[in-house]
Amino acid sequence: MGEGGIDTGSLFSSSKWLIKLPGSSVDDVVSAKVVPFLNWAIVLSGLVAVIMIVYGGYTFITSAGNPEKVEKGRNVLVAAIIGMIIVFLARVIVELVIDTLKEKGSF
């Protein structure tokens, strides 16, 4: 039993806490709904990051020495790269959490 009298081992399998779909387990729902959504979100985020990198590079190259445009282009490039790193790290963390919960039998 966890704190407050909640059995954390059955937290994810109890119908009290989750809406059960007929004939499916939580693992099936995660595999069928969550994983494809995460894959789609990663692809979309990567596409946006590439577009922002191209835009930042274009702004940087066409700045013609204008310090404001150089700074803007550099800031867009840095923000796009940091955003891409955050998205991929978030994906790794979500995968780690799902794998850990599967190993402990919560799913």
The three-state secondary structure class of 58 is: helix
Which stretch, 18-22, 44-48, 100-104, has highest mean pLDDT? 44-48
Which carries the bigger pLDDT value, residue 48 or residue 4? 48
52 vs 85: CA distance, rounded Å: 14
- pLDDT beyond 60 at 5: no
Contact 13, 29 (CB under 8 A): no
What's the whole-number average pLDDT of the chain? 78
Residue spans of the domains in the chain: they are 21-103
Summarised one tens digit per residue, pLDDT across range 25-45 is 666 666 677 778 888 888 899
